[in-house]
Structure 1
Amino acid sequence: MSAPSASASIEISAPPETVYDLVADLTDMSAWNTECERVRWVGPVREPRPGARFRGINRNGWRRWSTICTITAADPGRTFAYHVRAGGVFDVAIWRFDITETESGCRVEQRTWDRRGLFMRVVGDLATGVADRASHNAVNMRRTLESLKAVAERP
């Protein structure tokens, strides 16, 4: 795969399985994800496994939008990834969390690949109010990982 359009990583003092469970618990993603407002399962599969689909409701200030996502990787304690589409049709992005065990817990790397074509870049910029998606994602990813760390390390 090509280089990600944005990435961030953090050390978390919690077991990889604990962090994976937080990342893969999509219905509670808004508790630690900066741009996500809520998630709802789409279709009959309602667990984090490849092929399962969910709708992400996102926000940036007063702007709100939704996407349909398909889980592409779900390896407990290691990897969680999903492919994002607008309207379930237009490619938007691929998001991936890689979790690596360390002596004190784990290292989490979050990466994204922008997959928007010209049409979706223009529409997406207008809908989300974000002209420079890569820079915006990099800032939000750092915030998201800090929030994930706070939740994972909570006693």
Structure 2
Amino acid sequence: MEWTGARYADKPTVEVRAWIDAPPERVWEIVSDVSLMPGMSDELQSVHWLDGESRPAVGARFVGRSRHEALGEWETTSHVIECESPRVIAWAVDDPSRPAAVWRFRLEGKDDGTELSEWMQLGPGRSGLSFAIDEMPDKEQKIVFVRMREFERNMTITLGRIKRLAEER
């Protein structure tokens, strides 16, 4: 597990990697289609583009609805902050100048396939986790640690699902 920091203000990160037996262009078709992501994630329930957009470009926005057993249900607006086909797509959750989180997929052609990484940074803007920390400030490090482990586990599952889908064709 690669994550740094134990406090929310440290903007902890986690990154997961997978090698996929498919070219970057094929993997890009999947990771850049945010409408497919609810099928890749157990937490993300639905996604839809805003402003008449239908694919990623810097500045495009989409709404995601998520559900978590302990945190409930919530909706966020994400802003695409990087988009370079077929290499990288990234988005900032809520306020792009002070995001609740930043998510990024990187693709690198390697050994006739693709090395895919999914990376995320928590904070610095407030998120649902902030409310749990507000309620139990003495447990902040444990709360952050547990959530980062959840992200790592869920990202590993997501990459496995992307791998299967990309390699099917």
In structure 1, what is the equivalent of residue 152 of structure 2? 138
Per the TM alignment, residue 132 of structure 1 is displaced from its structure 2 partner at its CA by 2.6
From the CA coordinates, give the structure whose radius of gyration is larger.
2
Gaps of 5+ in 1: none
Residue 168 of structure 2 aligns to a residue whose secondary structure is coil
In structure 2, what is the equivalent of residue 13 of structure 1? 21
Q: Are 2:85 and 1:76 equivalent residues in the alignment?
A: yes
Deviations 1:98-132 (A, max 9, x none): 10001231000110011145675332679xx9873
Q: 2:37 aligns with which of 24, 29, 32?
A: 29
> Does the 8 Å contact 2:24/2:114 carry over to 1?
yes
Residue 151 of structure 1 aligns to a residue whose secondary structure is helix
Distance of 2:109 and 2:148 partners within structure 1: 27
What is the Cα-based RMSD across aligned positions, in Å? 2.8
Specify which structure has the higher proportion of helix: 2
| Residues 118 and 14 of structure 1: CA distance in aligned 2, closer, same or farther (over 3 Å) | closer
In structure 2, what is the equivalent of residue 147 of structure 1? 161
Per the TM alignment, residue 89 of structure 1 is displaced from its structure 2 partner at its CA by 9.2
In structure 2, what is the equivalent of residue 104 of structure 1? 112
| Residues 4 and 107 of structure 1: CA distance in aligned 2, closer, same or farther (over 3 Å) | farther
TM-score norm. by structure 2 comes to 0.77
Per the TM alignment, residue 31 of structure 1 is displaced from its structure 2 partner at its CA by 2.0
Distance of 1:10 and 1:69 partners within structure 2: 24
Deviations 1:65-90 (A, max 9, x none): 1110000111111001000128x997
TM-score norm. by structure 1 comes to 0.84
Q: Are 2:68 and 1:54 equivalent residues in the alignment?
A: no
Residue 55 of structure 2 aligns to a residue whose secondary structure is coil
- Identical counterparts, % of pairs: 26
Specify which structure has the higher proportion of strand: 1
Per the TM alignment, residue 17 of structure 1 is displaced from its structure 2 partner at its CA by 0.8
Equivalent AA in structure 1 for residue 89 of structure 2:
F
> Does the 8 Å contact 1:130/1:136 carry over to 2?
no
Equivalent AA in structure 2 for residue 145 of structure 1:
L
> Does the 8 Å contact 1:32/1:147 carry over to 2?
yes
Distance of 1:102 and 1:111 partners within structure 2: 19
Gaps of 5+ in 2: 1-9, 135-142
